[in-house]
Amino acid sequence: MSTNVTETDRTDLSDKGAASVRFRAVDKAFGSLTVLENLHLDVEPGERVVIIGPSGSGKTTILRVTMTLEHIDAGTIQVGGQHLYHEETSAGSLKAASERHIRKVRSNIGMVFQHFNLFPHMSAIENVMLAPVKVHGTSREEAQHLGMELLAKVGLAEHANHTPGQLSGGQKQRVAIARALATQPSVMLFDEVTSALDPELVGDVLKVLRDIAEEGKTTMMLVTHEMGFAREIADRILMFDKGRVVESGPPSQVLDDPQEDRTRSFLGAVAEH
Amino acid sequence: MEDLVLTPGQYAQLWNGALATVRILAGAFALGLFLSLVVGVGRLSERKWVRGISFGFVEFARGISSIILLTIMVIAIPILLGDVFPWLRGRSVAVLGAIALGLNMGGYGAEIIRGSILAIPKGQGEACIALNLSPTQRLRFVVLPQALRIILPPMGNLTIEILKGTALVSVVAGFDLMRATQNLIAGMLAQGALGVTVLFINVLFIYFILAQGVNGLFRLAERVLDRRFEQRTGRSAVPINVAATAGS
Ligand SMILES: Nc1ncnc2c1ncn2[C@@H]1O[C@H](COP(=O)(O)OP(=O)(O)OP(=O)(O)O)[C@@H](O)[C@H]1O
Ligand SMILES: [Mg+2]
């Protein structure tokens, strides 16, 4: 396999540090269904934000528009001070970003999915090495070294040559996390990364998330229904409903002393399960 | 049993015919596979005009009957396009026939490729975007390798269809197994209907063997692919040194 890297694709894999994420007046609709409406949200560098809220409230959509899996209809998103969907013209106004610009800014963002989305035809280590080698132009040796380090970090060094089909759900998700970490993103997005797992496998994955949080190298935006974990890891909890932030604050406030009825009823419903 | 056997001379002629058929098939297959890939991927392009052209090609290549395409290719095209593409002039019927069949195969093959790409779960493409792979890298390293397993069986069927289609080359005066058969018939009329029947039984058998050859090749490819999927277990493509990495 030859590498397919052009100069412009190359992004430095050295530590970039955590980055901020700023949403300004973001709208997103699917057909006639408005999912995000005039969303304003600031996530500070290194901050760990947990998004909670009822099903269909737009939690996944926030992460997906940040990863550019869906494009926004209006407003702006900035990651690390750079516009994601816009470029500044020489006159200082904003115009729609080129695909190339989006790719450049996107290289700072990583995402872990609910259903892992590992590449089934590649071993764990190949999954982890793919982006460093093909996108960032890292040498295979270096990428392999980095990849093995990451797999060791998520407790899967012995499984490096296993394909996803040979791994349990929890192991798959940890490989997926290692794969996302391999590009050293400044912002990481986690969408219900434990909700497809058997209960006894959740702990291993949460431990890995704690480790990432502890290192503090990346900003984390997490959607989760694990309230205990949210309390433990979050700097701030966002209660989301109908595409708007209903309430926002530290876990002690939002979870223990919610100010809004909507939050109270949601937490009540979650607690019953 | 002996009644079913032809003379060595007759077999020699049939052998030449079979070789010619295999050559036409190989040419048609190479062109057909290439077109299938390019057009199949083009059908899913983000660019509207690429999608449009690809769609047009598929409809053309599938809509026109092989025999008419062959006739046009062999008789009309060298005259019509000979000035623009001098290469076309003086090409053998076998080459022009292979091109016609290859175009035909490309139309059907493109739909097979398109279908198999669409069968790959959406999450695979999304993971590629999250890792910032380019659309080409996504196709090359993630989508097509997975699609290949889905492509092989219908592509094998299509190739056998094209093998059968090669017999049409004899209609436009090309030499192949079918033409060799017809040549033999001309000299066998004295032997009456029985001799011709025996000849056709033999020819039927030869086509059957050729088809089985195609089948076998595709089965083999499927097996190699399956094994590559499974076999990545324990044995290391990457040397594992847990002690060296675990502590870092
Ligand atoms: N691609 C899409 N096309 C149409 N509608 C969509 C699409 N993606 C999401 N939606 C709709 O947008 C709304 C918000 O979806 P989203 O996935 O963001 O919710 P969520 O808060 O993550 O919910 P859950 O807790 O169930 O995961 C839902 O009503 C959903 O049906
Ligand atoms: Mg969701």
Q: Is A189 exposed, middle or buried (0-12, 13-18, 19+ CB in 10 A)?
A: buried
pLDDT score of A90 more than 70: yes
With CB atoms and an 8 Å threshold, state whether B229 touches A163: yes
B23-26's contacts with Cβ under 8 Å and 24+ in sequence apart are B23/B94, B23/B98, B24/B94, B24/B97, B24/B98, B24/B101, B24/B166, B24/B169, B24/B174, B24/B176, B25/B98, B25/B101, B25/B159, B25/B162, B25/B163, B25/B166, B25/B210, B25/B214, B26/B98
Give tens-digit pLDDT for A145-189. 999 999 999 999 999 999 998 999 999 999 999 999 999 999 999
Q: Which two tokens stand for residue A234?
A: 């979050």
ipTM of the complex: 0.91
The answer to whether residue B67 neighbours chain A at the CB level (below 8 Å) is no
> Which residue's CA is the nearest one to ligand 1's atom 31?
A56
The answer to whether residue B132 neighbours chain A at the CB level (below 8 Å) is yes
With CB atoms and an 8 Å threshold, state whether B237 touches A120: no
Give tens-digit pLDDT for A92-110. 888 898 999 999 999 999 9
Beta strand spans in chain A (E): 21-30, 33-43, 48-52, 74-79, 82-83, 86-88, 94-96, 109-112, 187-191, 219-223, 236-241, 244-249
- Mean pLDDT comparison of A173-177, A202-206, B191-195, highest-scoring range: A173-177
From the list A115, A134, A165, the residue facing B137 with the nearest CB is A134
Q: What percent of chain A has pLDDT over 70?
A: 93
Backbone angles phi, psi at A163, to 5 degrees: -85, 160
What distance in Å separates the CA atoms of residue B133 and residue B139, rounded to the nearest whole number? Answer: 9
Give tens-digit pLDDT for B37-88. 999 999 999 899 999 999 999 999 988 888 888 888 888 888 888 888 888 8
Counting ligand 1 atoms within 8 A of each CB, the residue from A27, A33, A223 with the most, and so the one to mutate, is: A33
CATH of B2-247, one of 1.10.3470.10, 1.10.3720.10, 3.90.180.10, 3.40.50.1820: 1.10.3720.10
> Which residue's CA is the nearest one to ligand 1's atom 30?
A56
Domain ranges in chain B? 2-247
From the list A69, A120, A160, the residue facing B238 with the nearest CB is A160
Q: What percent of chain B has pLDDT over 90?
A: 51
| Chain B nearest CA to A254, separation (Å) | 31
With CB atoms and an 8 Å threshold, state whether B240 touches A115: no
